[in-house]
Amino acid sequence: MRVILLLFVVCAVADGWFFGSKKKEKCFGELGCFDNRSPFDNTKGCIPQSPDEQGLQLALYTRKNRYFPQWINIDTNYDTAGNTYSITNSHYTVGKRTYFIIHGYTDDCLSEWVANIERTLLETGDFNVFRVNWQEGASPTIYDQAASNTRLVASMLAMFMRALNNIGTSYGDIHLIGHSLGAHISGQVGQRLGGQLGRITGMDPAGPSFDKDNCDIRLDKTDAKFVDIMHTDAEKLTKLGFGMMRPMGHADFYPGGGYDQEGCPKNFGDHLFSLVTGGIKGFINGAACSHSRAVDLFWSSFTQCHYTAIPCANWADFKAGKCKCSDATPCSRMGYYADPSLHGTFFLRTSGTPPYCLNLLELIQLKLGVSGFVGYNKQH
C-alpha cells in the first residue's frame, strides 16, 4: 500500500490503453489455463504470472503456535521439508473454523493489520488462521499485472481448500477476509468452489480493473453463503479513490457514505498539501488513507467498537434522517459480528481517530444535530 498511488499512475499508461493488447494464454497444469479474452480483458491484456513468479505462501497460526507460524505447503501431499509443513503434520485441526486473511496490492502477510486481525481472531476463538502471502504477485510495477495475478492465486487457494475438504474440513467452516485485491481473490476462490464457502468479508474491494457488471472477475454475493462488504474509498480513481460504490454482497456497509473517511484527506488539494509538507510518502499514505481504513474498522469491530448500521438506500437519505431501524428493517452490525440473516445496504458514521467509533460525547453531539444510528465505543 505504501507505493500504491505511483503504481496506479504507471498502470494508467501501460500495456494496452494506447496501443491495444494481443490475445494471450498460459496454462499451469492442474491450476488451469488463463487468457485475456472477455471478461478477462479487464487488466489491459495482462495474464497471470507463473506460480514460481508469484511465490504464494501460507502461514498457519493456531492457539498452539500463536507467535511462530507454520509455513504450509500448498500441495498437502508433501512431507515436511526444511521449515515447511504439510497439513497432516501441522497444528491444523479439522472441525475448527478456518480463516484466510488475504492482503492486497504491494502488501504482504507481515503487515501490522494482518497480524492484528490474526491475533484477535485467536483471542476470540480456538481457530485455524492462515495469513496468505502473495507478496511477489502483488508487487509488479504495473497494477494491471497484479490484478491479473489474482486469478492464479485464487486457483491455488481453491486447490488447497479442496485438499482441506478432502481431509474433512467443511467449506461452510471457512471464512475468507480480503482487502483490496485480496477481496477479489476471495471472490474468485469462492466462485471456483461453487459458492460453498461459509463467509467472505471484502474490505474495500479494489475498484480499478474490477468495477464492471460482470461478476466473473470480481467478488459478488454468489461466491459464499454470506458475503459482507465494507466500502471506505468508493470515489473514482480520478479523485484518488481505490474502492467501488456498487453493492456486491448480501450486506454492503458504507461508513461515512463509503468514501472520504473521517480523519483522511478529502480532496486533491489536501493531497497536494501533504506532498509539499510531508513529501511523496505523505502524499501516497494520504491518498490510500480511506482505502486502508476498512482494515482498521474490521479489526476494531471485534472488541472495541459496536458498529450499528442503518438499512438505507443511499447516503443522502441517511444524512437527512429518512432511514431508521425497526422490526421490519432491523439494524445490522458492521464488521466481524455482521448478522448473516440481514441483507441490503447499510450506512453509519464513524470517528476520525482510532478505534474509529464514536465515544459517548460524540454520539450525543451527533444525535442532537443529525438523525441516525452510528458506531459507538464499547468502552463508554
Which of 291, 292, 300, 332 does the annotation list as catalytic?
291
Is residue 350 within 8 Å of residue 374, measured between CB atoms?
yes
Q: Is 192 helix (H, G, I), strand (E, B) or coil?
A: helix
311 strand-pairing partners: 346
**What distances in angstroms separate CA 292 from CA 69, 186, 296, one per listed residue?**
25, 18, 7
CA–CA dist 265, 289 (Å, integer):
8
**What distances in angstroms separate CA 259 from CA 31, 212, 339, one per listed residue?**
37, 19, 23
CA–CA dist 45, 155 (Å, integer):
19
CA–CA dist 6, 49 (Å, integer):
22
Q: Which three cell numbers stand for residue 109?
A: 502477510
Which amino acid would we find at residue 94? V
Q: Is 38 a catalytic residue?
A: no
Which of 107, 144, 204, 223 does the annotation list as catalytic?
204
Which of 90, 180, 186, 292 does the annotation list as catalytic?
180
Q: Is 108 a catalytic residue?
A: no
Q: Which three cell numbers stand for residue 210?
A: 474490477
Q: Is 291 a catalytic residue?
A: yes
CA–CA dist 135, 295 (Å, integer):
18
Catalytic residues: 180, 204, 291
